[in-house]
Structure 1
Amino acid sequence: MRILLTGGSGLVGSNILEISGNHSHEILAPRRTDLDLTQYSSVLKYISDCKPDIVVHAAGRVGGIQANIASPVDFLVQNIDIGKNIILASHSLGINRFLNIGSSCMYPKGRQDPLTEDMILAGELEPTNEGYALAKIMCQRLCQYISRDPNYQYKTIIPCNIYGRYDSFLPPKSHLIPAIIYKIHKAVQSGVQNIEIWGDGLAKREFMYATDLANCIFECIDRYDSLPPLMNIGLSEDFTINHYYEVAAEIIGFDGFFVHNTDMPVGMRRKKVSTNKQIAWGWRPMFSLNDGIKLTYEYFLSTING
């Protein structure tokens, strides 16, 4: 099977490519210099030339809370342009299978119960990443509308938060776990005894090691007909931000103190996706939190020492 993968240099795409040797598929993963996803004509020509059997859409402008707050226009407009171009070009050229990778940011804020797939557009979005979330919702709905034609199966998976190898560790682009690894490592190296945590640290988040998501995506491709049109991908458990700091501190060797800054934004108090559909479909992740953070820290060390 020939797969066109967008975002091959990003976190998800890089992990897909890293394990692609375990699978028999041919993967085309053009770099930004080879394919500008913001230009519809370029996207149309590339797909016409390569004729993929399926498109896996993992590209997008991503970043943590700081980046989203600083550039909401870019996060909205660029992700809308990228999403609509790849989806509409694929549809116009008769590509009948399209796997869209969404984000748990698509769900309403303030929900303490696990987020089920039918909650999209059921409430107000978290303001700190609203632009990104709106773009992702647009892509999911566009896939849903196209799939009303039985000749097309445009499906969306919504992973929980992802971290791992090939992550971005430098602020302000980093997400929570790579940011924690960076902060604690720097503190250990410089002998700092106090590390600041935004908020009270009691907000809960669900993070999956990126290799698990990559494995799941290949499973989705191989069992595409049985894949639900919209499905969450998660761990079935979440942890407090304080816990992520504690686990990383133990792995990295930090024995100082954490100081909470309650004046800073923390986003949603809880964001855990329901995995009922995923479990019924028959897939579960393999990596524990401790193993995932340890492997991610080893990768981080290789990037600064290599």
Structure 2
Amino acid sequence: MRVLLTGGNGMLAKAIAAAWSEQDRPDDLIAVTRAEADLRDQAAVRRMVDDLRPDMVIHTAARVGGIAANIADPTGFLMDNLLIDSNLLSAATSTGVEKFIYFGSSCMYPRDYRQPLVESDVLAAPLEPTNEGYALSKITAARYCEYTARQHGLDYRVVIPSNLYGPNDDFTPGRSHLVAATIAKAHAAKESGADSIDVWGDGTARREFTYVGDLASWVVASLDAIHDWPTLLNVGQGDDHSVLEYYQAALETVGYSCELATDPSKPAGMHQKLMDSSLAKTFGWEPRTSLAEGMRYSYDAYRSSLV
């Protein structure tokens, strides 16, 4: 089996490639990056799929960013992701790719809805405005996968992970997600001897984060069983923590202590979006990495990248 893996330079794709090697799968894994094919370019995507003729696609590529980035450019997050997903999905279906794993996002779920969130809650109520553009693009692609599976009988499945973190995360200020941002800020505070770290919002918003290596290992180990998966499948850690708790964990990880200066005037997004991953557990999902362990692995990788 030939498997096309998109987003080859991204955190999730690199973790999948590592798990592929560790599990010694006999199939050919072909990881592609933007340098090899800009997925926003329809002709380039079609040429790539025609040339590679994959039996399966694992689609991790996306334009992603933290809350500040989403607020600053909602049109970009909407249109870039719509182009990426529509180009690849249409090329895959038209060339007869029978298996496709699409990675959605917990942003697809309604704002301030019931907790924990189940797969049928998608489109049940209005979305969180701060990342609505990104969420709409992910919902659109997820629906396409559902339609394709139903209309053509193909194994097109949508994995909805919680927020992810780990080695190869994006620690860039303004672009990083919460855990990466807390680690980078805690490290910078330690290096400069800062008295405080600025925190958007009042710090009480809660987020669920899953260590990327756990998700990657499960996906690689489960590839042969995706025909039995439901079309949508939540895959998360199973518990959540407040923003302040993540910052405190980051400070403990880097070995520093300072004030956390909250700013309630700044947007904090949804108050909570814990997902119910009980369906995934029936297919062998069992996250093993604790937050303390995952943060340590992430911080070690971050420090190595600074050398």
Relative to the length of structure 1, the TM-score reads 0.97
Partner of 1:17: 17
State the one-letter code of the partner of 1:106. M
Q: Is the 8 A contact 1:236 1:275 kept in 2?
A: yes
Q: Is the 8 A contact 2:159 2:235 kept in 1?
A: yes
Partner Cα distance (2:81, 2:19) in 1? 26
Residue 79 of structure 2 aligns to a residue in which SS? helix
Partner Cα distance (2:241, 2:224) in 1? 31
1:169-248 counterparts in 2 under 5 A?
Answer: 169-248=171-250
Can you list the C-alpha shifts for 1:228-248, whole angstroms capped at 9, x where unaligned? 211000111111111111111
Q: Is the 8 A contact 2:161 2:236 kept in 1?
A: yes
The structural deviation recorded for 1:145 is 0.7
The structural deviation recorded for 1:151 is 3.4
The structural deviation recorded for 1:169 is 0.6
Identity of aligned residues (%): 40
Residue 268 of structure 2 aligns to a residue in which SS? coil
Partner of 2:105: 103
The structural deviation recorded for 1:94 is 0.7
Can you list the C-alpha shifts for 1:69-123, whole angstroms capped at 9, x where unaligned? 1111110000000001111110001111111110000000012411100011111
Partner of 2:124: 122
Partner Cα distance (1:146, 1:78) in 2? 22
Partner of 2:252: 250
The structural deviation recorded for 1:168 is 0.7
Count of residues in Structure 1 that have an aligned counterpart in Structure 2: 305
- Match 2:295 to one of 276, 288, 293: 293
The structural deviation recorded for 1:20 is 2.1
Relative to the length of structure 2, the TM-score reads 0.97
- Match 1:147 to one of 149, 165, 175: 149
Residue 281 of structure 1 aligns to a residue in which SS? coil
Q: Is the 8 A contact 2:218 2:284 kept in 1?
A: no
The structural deviation recorded for 1:18 is 2.3
Partner Cα distance (1:20, 1:275) in 2? 23
Where structure 2 has 5 or more consecutive residues not aligned to the other structure, the ranges are: none
1:262-277 counterparts in 2 under 5 A?
Answer: 262-277=264-279
The structural deviation recorded for 1:149 is 2.8
Comparing 256-265 with 287-296, greater Cα deviation is found at 256-265
